[in-house]
């Protein structure tokens, strides 16, 4: 048998997690606009929900950006870890913000509710999992970038 001279690139688990989470957030951002449209950019109105999560156009844009970052960064092991740190820090901060913003419409410009807070802490945890996933030993064809 002849062995191909083209190196095979295998993806690590944390890269696939980054891709899936990025795709889900991108989808949620798009679906969010079906709920909110483009009016009331930063309004606090818990009547606009997507599967129980409060959204507004600004919140949808954040989801789109996180989703696009995941899709842009998943392909390299190091870039996927950077996406993990972005999730951990960003959604950790969003969770902390949400603790004060829920029930306070004067500062709740992202229209966060309690369900969002739960999702934010889970997303921060997923980001940590991506960022800290054990690095595999060097294997033939493994691209560590």
pLDDT tens per residue across span 106-142: 999 999 999 999 999 999 999 999 999 988 765 445 5
- C-alpha 114/C-alpha 111 separation (Å) is 10
State pLDDT tens for residues 29-50. Answer: 999 999 999 988 888 776 788 8
pTM of the model: 0.83
Q: Domain coordinates of the chain in residue numbers?
A: 49-134
Nearest one of 107, 110, 91 to 53, comparing CA atoms: 110
Q: Find tokens 């691209």 and name the residue.
A: 143
> What is the CA angle 19-20-21, rounded to 5?
95
């Amino acid at each position: 048998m002849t062995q191909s001279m083209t190196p095979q690139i295998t993806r690590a688990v944390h890269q696939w997690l980054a891709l899936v989470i990025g795709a889900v957030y991108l989808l949620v951002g798009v679906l969010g606009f079906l709920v909110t449209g483009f009016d009331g950019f930063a309004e606090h109105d818990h009547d606009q929900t997507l599967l129980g999560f409060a959204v507004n156009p600004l919140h949808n844009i954040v989801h789109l950006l996180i989703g696009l970052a995941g899709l842009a960064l998943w392909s390299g092991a190091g870039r996927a870890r950077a996406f993990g740190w972005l999730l951990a820090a960003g959604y950790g901060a969003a969770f902390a913000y949400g603790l004060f913003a829920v029930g306070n419409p004067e500062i709740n410009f992202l229209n966060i509710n309690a369900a969002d807070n739960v999702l934010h802490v889970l997303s921060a945890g997923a980001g940590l999992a991506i960022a800290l996933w054990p690095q595999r030993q060097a294997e033939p064809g493994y691209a560590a970038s």
